[in-house]
Amino acid sequence: MYNHFNQYRCTIIRGKSKGEMDNLLPAYAQIIDEITPADKGSFENSFNRLLKRFLPNASIKTLDNHRTEIAGKLFGMYYIDENQNVYTSERTLKFLEDNDQPAFFKDMCFKIQYPNGMDKPATILERINNNISVRPCSLVLSVLLEAKEVGLVLTKNDIGYYILNSLDALQGKAFPNEIVNVIVNDRNEGIIRKIKNPGKASSYNMQHINELLNYLELANLIHIGMEYEVLLNENELNAINYFAKHWDEKLEFDVYSYDLSTVENRKKIGTDWSFYFSKLVDSKEIFTTTAKSLGIPEEKLSKKLGRTDLVALGDEGELFVYEYEKERVKSYNHRLASKVLHLGKTRGLGYDIQSVIAEDGDISEFVKYIEVKSTKRVTAPSIEDDNWIDTINLTRNEWIAANQHSNYYFIYRVYFVRGTVFMYVIKNVKEKVDDGLLRVIPVAYRADFGNSAIDMVIKEARSEYGV
C-alpha cells in the first residue's frame, strides 16, 4: 500500500541551467573526441586546457567540475577503465554523428537509476540500506501518462512530493495508478502537499526535483507550464511510452551485488558504472528527434520536411536553407531563383547550397556558397549571452572551399529548437580566422606511405575463421 507520508530525499548530480547544458554539450563532445583515448592524467590536463577556450574566466575548480561531475558522471560522455585509460562513450559518438541533443538526453535519462555508481560509496550504502530501487525518469513519465488518462495535470510540487521524494516510490513499491489515485483524492479534498525540511530553504527542498525535470525537458519529453505544471510532449509519445513500460523492470546495473566493505569493490563499482552508463540504449529510432516533435509549426517547414521518414538532420537543415534561399533570391529577382541549387548529395564540393548574393550592388549575381550545419536542441541559442558557445566540424573539403571562395563562402548554422527554427550566418570564415574571431583546429591526420615505410610483410595471415 502506497504511503506518501514516507518521505526520502534522493538527490542527483547537479548540472547547469538548461541553456548552459544545451550550449556546453557540443563543446564537451568535440573536446572528448579530440583527446581520447588517453591516460587519465593527460585527459584531465587536456580537457581543462581546451574547455578554457570556451570558458576563459573559469577557475580550475570549475573546469574540474565540468569534466568530472557533468561531462563524466552526469552525461556519461566518457568512461575510465581499470587501467585508468579514458575512452569516448557511445553516447558521445552518436551525438557527434547526428547532432541530436534531445536524443542524447533521452538516452541519458533512460539509464539514470537510483542507486547508481555516480555517487560516493557512503551515499550508495545509504540508499542500499533504504532499499532504493527505481528508474526515476521512467516512473515520472508513467505517472504523467496515468494522470493524463484521468484529465489530471500535475505540478512540480506533485512530482516532487508524491514521486521523487517518496520513499515508497523510490523503493519501486508504488504503482503509477496508485500515486495518481492518491493525488486525485487529495485534490478533491483541497489538500496541497509539499516537501518539507524544517530549517531548510525551499530551494533545498526542490533542487533535486528541478534537476531531474530539467533533464527530461532537455530530452524534449516534457515542458513546464506557466503555473509550474509538468506537461507531456504529445509529439514524443513513442519515446514516452518506451520509458513508461520499463518503469518497474529490474535495474540493469545491479548495485546490490557489490560488497562495498572493501576499497577494491568501492573502486570497482565506479569503474563498472562508468562503462555501463556510457553505453547506448538500443532505441535509436524511438529516441530520434524530429522537427515535428520539437513542435515547429508546419508553416516553417517545407512539405518535404514534414515527411515522417525524413529524419536525417543534415537533410532537414539543407532543405530548410535551400527553400529559404530560393524565397530570398526570388523576392530580389525571380529570374535568379533557378540559380539556387541543392548540392548536398554531391561529394567533395565543400558546400551544400549554391545560391546567389542577391543584394543591391555590383555583385548581386555573384555565386554564394553555403555550407549548412544543423543541430536539434530544446533551448534557443542566445548570442546576447556572454557565456554562449557553439562548435561545429568542418571537413577538409569544406575548409578548402572556405579559403578558396573567402568572401562568398557562408556557414548557415541551423538550430531546430522547440517551437521554431533559428539560423546564424557566418560569412567569410577565412577572414574571421585571420582576425581571431573564429578558431579552426585540425583534429584529423592522413597518413600516406610507400614501400619504404613497411617493416614486415605477413603473407600467411589467417583469422580464426580461416580467411
pLDDT number for residue 309: 40
Contact in structure between 235 and 226 (CB atoms under 8 Å):
no
* Sequence-ordered strand ranges (E) for 77-148: 78-80, 85-88
How far apart CA 80 and CA 371 sit, in angstroms, is 36
Angle 18-35/202-218 helices, nearest 10 degrees?
A: 60
How far apart CA 209 and CA 159 sit, in angstroms, is 8
Half-sphere exposure of residue 73, counting CA atoms within 13 Å on the CB side?
17
How far apart CA 256 and CA 341 sit, in angstroms, is 59
Nearest by Cα to 375 from 287, 308, 306, 313: 313
Burial pattern 86-106, b for ≥16 Cβ within 10 A else e, equals: bbbbebbbbbeebbbbbbbbb
Per-residue pLDDT for the chain (467 aa), expressed as one digit of tens each? 899 999 999 999 888 899 899 999 999 999 999 999 999 999 999 999 999 988 989 999 999 999 999 999 999 999 999 999 999 999 999 999 999 999 999 999 999 999 999 999 999 999 999 999 999 999 999 999 999 999 999 999 999 999 999 999 999 999 999 999 999 999 999 999 999 988 888 788 999 999 999 999 999 999 999 889 999 999 999 999 999 999 999 999 999 999 999 999 999 999 999 999 999 998 778 999 988 899 988 766 655 554 444 444 457 889 999 999 999 999 999 999 999 999 988 888 999 999 999 999 999 999 999 999 999 999 988 888 777 788 888 888 999 999 999 999 999 999 999 999 999 999 999 899 898 888 887 766 667 776 677 677 666 544 444 44
pLDDT number for residue 316: 83
Omega cis (within 30) before 115: yes
Query: Residue 450 class from Cβ within 10 Å (0-12 exposed, 13-18 middle, 19+ buried)?
Result: exposed
Going from the C-alpha of 204 to that of each of 11, 169, 225, the distances in angstroms are: 10, 20, 22
How far apart CA 104 and CA 289 sit, in angstroms, is 10
How far apart CA 65 and CA 237 sit, in angstroms, is 34
How far apart CA 247 and CA 145 sit, in angstroms, is 12
Amino acid in the structure at residue 58: A
Chain center to CA of 219: 7
Query: Helix or strand or coil: residue 413?
Result: strand
Report the DSSP beta bridge partners of residue 166: 7
How far apart CA 150 and CA 143 sit, in angstroms, is 11
Residue 426's contacts (CB-CB under 8 Å, 6 or more residues apart) are: 410, 411, 413, 432, 438
Residue 128's contacts (CB-CB under 8 Å, 6 or more residues apart) are: 115, 255, 256, 260
Angle 101-111/18-35 helices, nearest 10 degrees?
A: 90
Query: Helix or strand or coil: residue 203?
Result: helix
pLDDT number for residue 439: 80
Where, residue-wise, is CATH 1.10.10.2090 in the chain?
18-287
Q: pTM for the full model?
A: 0.89
How far apart CA 198 and CA 195 sit, in angstroms, is 10
How far apart CA 72 and CA 44 sit, in angstroms, is 11
Query: Residue 434 class from Cβ within 10 Å (0-12 exposed, 13-18 middle, 19+ buried)?
Result: exposed
The three grid cell numbers given for residue 218, joined into one nine-digit string = 532537455
Class of domain 18-287: mainly alpha
